[in-house]
Amino acid sequence: MPLLILHQEGIDMLHQLIELVREKNIFRWNKKKIEIKLIATILYYAGISLRKTSKFLRDFEKFSHEALRQWYHKFAQLFTNSRKYRHCIAIDEQRQRLEMNGIMFGLQ
């Protein structure tokens, strides 16, 4: 795949994330640009430390590493799965007991 197509796909993904963040209204205040918040959280997710990310983007927007940590946790709310409650119960097959007509059966 040519590099230009990969670059365009990355930009399209960023635009989709921006729209998703605006729809879900994750960030209460928008004193900083949403684009900068997303780029910073993506860089932190990619493995760059909080302080290095804030220093790297300082020319575009000034923010602290603590603000980036808070943005990251708010952004992570988009991708958390809700707990699914199942109707089955996990049983240890060594310690099963079955009650039928008031009689306990120990299964081993």
Over residues 16-50, the pLDDT tens digits come to 888 888 888 887 777 888 888 988 998 998 999 99
pTM above 0.85, yes or no: no
Torsion sign across C-alpha atoms 15, 18, 20, 23: negative
H-type helices in the chain, by residue range?
3-24, 34-45, 50-56, 65-76
What CA dihedral angle connects 62, 45, 49 and 35, to 10 degrees?
A: -10
pLDDT at 30: 76
| DSSP SS3 for 98 | strand
pLDDT at 103: 59
pLDDT at 26: 81
